[in-house]
Amino acid sequence: MATALITGPTAGIGRAFAEALAAKGMNLVLVSRDAGRLEQVAAQIRDSQGSHLQIEVLPADLSDRGQIDRVADRLRDPKRPVQVLVNNAGFGLVRGFGETEIDQEQQLLDVLVTAVLRLTHAAVPGMVTRGKGVIFNVSSVAGWITGSTYSAAKSWVTVFTEGLAQDLSGTGVRAVAVCPGYVRTEFHERADMDVAEVPAWMWLEAADVVAQAFRDAEQGRVISVTGPQYKAMATILQHAPRPLVRLASRSRGR
Ligand X SMILES: NC(=O)c1ccc[n+]([C@@H]2O[C@H](COP(=O)([O-])OP(=O)(O)OC[C@H]3O[C@@H](n4cnc5c(N)ncnc54)[C@H](OP(=O)(O)O)[C@@H]3O)[C@@H](O)[C@H]2O)c1
Q: Would you please indicate which residues are annotated as catalytic (active-site) residues?
A: 150
**φ, ψ of residue 5 in degrees (nearest 5):** -110, 125
Contacts of 138 (CB under 8 A, 6+ apart): 13, 14, 86, 87, 88, 90, 157, 178, 180
Residue selected from 4, 11, 71, 86 as contacting ligand X according to rule CB under 6 A: 11
How near is the Cβ of 44 to ligand X at its closest, in Å?
14
User: For residue 6, what is the enclosing H or E element?
Assistant: strand 3-7
Kindly report the number of other CB atoms within 10 A of residue 208's CB atom.
14
Mask of contacts with ligand X, 64-103, x by CB under 6 A? ------------------------xxxx------------
Residue selected from 2, 37, 202, 208 as contacting ligand X according to rule CB under 6 A: 37
Give the footprint of ligand X on residues 122-161 (CB under 6 A). Answer: 138, 140
Nearer to ligand X, 27 or 63 (CB): 63
Nearer to ligand X, 129 or 238 (CB): 238
Strand partners, 30: 6, 57
Q: Which stretch binds ligand X (CB under 6 A): 20-28, 58-66, 211-219, 223-231?
A: 58-66
CA separation, residue 100 to residues 93, 172, 188 (Å):
8, 42, 17
Nearer to ligand X, 7 or 224 (CB): 7
Rounded Cα distance between 199 and 190, Å, is: 20
The residues that touch ligand X, with contacts defined as CB under 6 A, are 7-14, 32-34, 37, 61-63, 88-91, 111, 138, 140, 180, 182-183, 185-187, 190
